[in-house]
Amino acid sequence: MVMSVLVLVVSTALFFFYIQTVCDKALKREFNRAYFQDVIKAIHLEFPRLCNLFDPNVFYNYSDARQVLKGDFATLEYLLRNAGPSRRHLSWCEKVMVFYFRFLLLFLPIRHAFRFHEKEAVLRLASILQLFASLVGEKLSFKSFTATPSGS
């Protein structure tokens, strides 16, 4: 009995370690231009204001930050799924990032209650949203370039 519980705990820990590693690698992805800025301006996303949380002059409100993250995530997830009419499904990496975002957002109230690296978690969620915005911008710009007829 004890051995099976130990195997379960170690397996779960390894699973989340691998998920974190894949997500860290995805977050380090470089884009050839700042697509996320175009998407932020176009649909008026609010998560960029969360990126300066460590500035002492900025007031941090947990409930507002959580609402901003949830709303921007819903918008970007919809756009990720529907940016290309030919492909309605997310790639495996995008699915992992969506799962990771939801997991971090699920445990954000616990971090808030115990004051355990709450701002770092919010910044991590904002960086995931920035990745989503960049992916949406990349898909839309690629689609507009392929849809443009080449000159004669």
Per-residue pLDDT averaged across 97-102, rounded?
94
Does position 7 have pLDDT exceeding 90, yes or no? Answer: yes
Say if residues 119 and 54 touch (Cβ distance below 8 Å). yes
Phi, psi torsion values for 34, nearest 5 degrees: -80, 75
Query: Could you give the percent of the chain with pLDDT greater than 70?
Result: 89
Q: What is the mean pLDDT of the chain?
A: 85
Q: In angstroms, rounded to a whole number, what is the distance separating the alpha carbons of residues 144 and 30?
A: 21
Classify 44 in phi/psi space as left (phi over 0), alpha (psi -120 to 50) or beta. Answer: left
Model pLDDT for residues 9-46, shown as the tens digit of each residue: 999 999 989 988 989 998 888 887 778 888 888 888 98
DSSP 83: S
Cα atoms in the 13 Å half-sphere on the side-chain side of 53: 20
Per-residue pLDDT averaged across 108-118, rounded?
90
Per-residue pLDDT averaged across 110-132, rounded?
91
Say if residues 38 and 144 touch (Cβ distance below 8 Å). no
- pTM of the predicted structure, to 2 decimals: 0.82
pLDDT at 142 (0 to 100): 59
Model pLDDT for residues 77-94, shown as the tens digit of each residue: 999 888 766 666 888 888
Determine the straight-line distance between the first and last CA of the chain, rounded to whole angstroms. Answer: 74
Residue with the two structure tokens 């519980």? 5
Q: Which residue has the higher pLDDT, 87 or 110?
A: 110
pLDDT at 86 (0 to 100): 64
